[in-house]
């Protein structure tokens, strides 16, 4: 959470401080398009997502106070040595807070493809239009669904969801 600095005095009261989330919440689900595809891929062992490794806040700047910098690092959202065979219904792999992006790179490893497969998923808004700036992704929850198909194909789709209401509890699994 972040809020700009505010100033006030005895006769000039502080305005309300407005906080906002600087990170993006990403949930990842996966499923198989057919049972044959699930058998072909084997159990899912690892899912990682790329994110910037550093967040810098410069309060002296008037604009662009927040910058996401550094190298892209892989953050594990799912790890299971035995592997979980994708089923025809969606399985939640995990969730992670990461730097905002308009597109995420996700790497999936399975029992039958231990070297992994990398896919790129473009984030979209509620009208399914691609995001054009990082500010459109910050403070939002995106659900990325991975669909395992035959012939070494994984497709990823993105859905923008609302977070819980302001006065409700937020739980992560």
Give the confidence band of 70 by pLDDT, cuts at 50, 70, 90: confident
Give the confidence band of 61 by pLDDT, cuts at 50, 70, 90: confident
pLDDT at residue 62 in the model: 77
- Specify the range with the lowest mean pLDDT, choosing from 49-53, 90-94, 136-140, 152-156: 152-156
User: Are residues 152 and 117 in contact, defined by beta-carbon separation less than 8 angstroms?
Assistant: yes
Q: Where are the beta strands (DSSP E) in the chain?
A: 24-32, 44-57, 66-84, 91-98, 103-110, 117-122, 141-149, 153-161
Mean per-residue pLDDT over the chain, rounded:
87
Place of tokens 């995106």: 142
pLDDT at residue 24 in the model: 93
List pLDDT tens digits, range 117-126: 999 999 999 8
Token pair for 28 = 């990842």
Give the confidence band of 52 by pLDDT, cuts at 50, 70, 90: very high
Question: Average pLDDT for residues 30-54, to the nearest whole number?
Answer: 93
Question: Average pLDDT for residues 79-108, to the nearest whole number?
Answer: 93
Q: Is the pLDDT of residue 165 over 60?
A: no
Which helix (H) or strand (E) element contains residue 24?
strand 24-32
pTM: 0.83
Q: How far apart, in whole angstroms, are the C-alpha atoms of residue 95 and residue 26?
A: 5
């Amino acid at each position: 959470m972040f809020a700009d600095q505010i100033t006030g005095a005895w006769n000039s009261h502080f305005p309300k401080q407005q906080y906002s989330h600087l990170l993006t919440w990403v949930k990842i689900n996966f499923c198989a398009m057919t049972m044959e595809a699930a058998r072909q891929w084997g159990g899912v062992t690892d899912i990682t997502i790329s994110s910037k490794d550093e967040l810098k806040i410069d309060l002296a700047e008037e604009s662009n106070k927040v910058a996401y910098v550094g190298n892209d690092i892989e953050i594990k959202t799912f790890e299971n040595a035995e592997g979980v065979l994708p089923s025809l219904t969606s399985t939640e792999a995990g969730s992670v807070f990461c730097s905002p992006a308009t597109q995420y790179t996700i790497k999936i490893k399975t029992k039958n493809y231990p070297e992994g497969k990398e896919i790129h998923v473009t984030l979209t808004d509620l009208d399914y239009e691609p995001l054009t700036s990082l500010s459109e992704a910050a403070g939002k929850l995106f659900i990325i669904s991975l669909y395992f198909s035959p012939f070494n194909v994984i497709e990823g789709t993105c859905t923008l969801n609302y977070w819980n209401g302001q006065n409700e509890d937020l739980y992560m699994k």
